[in-house]
Structure 1
Amino acid sequence: MHELGIMTGVIEAAEKAARDSGATRLLKVNLSIGEMTEAIEDALVFAWEALTEDDPYAKGAELAINMIKPKSRCLECGAVFEHDRFHMFCPECDGFATELLCGRELQIDSIEVDLPDDEEGDSHED
């Protein structure tokens, strides 16, 4: 289950960014991940919940996941097309020489945190 390793890295990076900004708590992480990483969304959520459960800095923090569909370009005819993980042949010319344009992403798009000067518990997005 590589989802546990992925989420460990995401939490570490998000917490470091939050602490570097002077935040007192992590509230939300917005994550984009490509389907070609073969990560399973439910397993990512499960790993997030397990890892943040006993983490006082991130306990209760929300996770929003944007799964990115694979998109490729045919190197024979130039067509750009979306596909699943298993069917990468060009739908226009049936070519097999393709270049993956997106679908392997793994990035933190943004985080929301509590800052110490927030009197009413407002959150800020970084």
Structure 2
Amino acid sequence: MHELGIASSLIEIVLDTANANGAKVVRSVTAKIGRLSAVDGEALKFAFDAIKEEYPLIAESVLIIDSVPVTGKCNKCGATDTYDEMFFACSKCGSYEVELITGEELTVSEIEVD
């Protein structure tokens, strides 16, 4: 379960950021996870909840997952599209020259603190 390692890294980022900004308590953490990132959001929440208890600053925090769809831009016609499958063909011209715009993210986008 690589989500445990990801949760550990995420917590390290949150603790460093909260401490650098003088936070007393972290209320929530929002993570953007792209569909192509190979991260299971529920497994990440489980791992986050298991580890956070060790750190009083984040012990009561909630991890919010913001799922990011796969979008791409066609390099031939310039059309932008959203993809549900791992088949990246432009819906306008049929070209396979699609450059991914979103869907590979794994970032902390927001930390709510007091």
> Normalising by structure 2, what TM-score?
0.88
Residues of 2 paired with 1:20 and 1:71: CA distance? 34
Task: Name which one, 1 or 2, has greater alpha-carbon Rg.
Answer: 1
Equivalent runs, 1:62-77 vs 2, <5 Å: 62-77=62-77
**What's the RMSD between the two structures over aligned residues?**
1.5
**What amino acid does structure 2 have at the position aligned with 1:2?**
H
* Residue 49 (structure 1) aligned with residue 44 (structure 2): no
Determine the structure 2 residue equivalent to 1:3: 3
Determine the structure 2 residue equivalent to 1:81: 81
Deviation, 1:85, is 5.0
> Normalising by structure 1, what TM-score?
0.81
Determine the structure 2 residue equivalent to 1:60: 60
Determine the structure 1 residue equivalent to 2:20: 20
Determine the structure 1 residue equivalent to 2:108: 108
Note the alpha carbon deviations across 1:48-79, whole angstroms, 9 max, x for none: 11111332221121111111101001122221
The count of residues paired between Structure 1 and Structure 2 equals 114
The percentage of aligned residue pairs carrying the same residue is 34
Residues of 1 paired with 2:8 and 2:91: CA distance? 38
Residues of 2 paired with 1:44 and 1:85: CA distance? 23
Q: Which runs of 5+ in 2 are unaligned?
A: none
Answer 1 or 2: higher relative contact order, Cα 8 Å, separation at least 6: 2
Determine the structure 1 residue equivalent to 2:92: 92
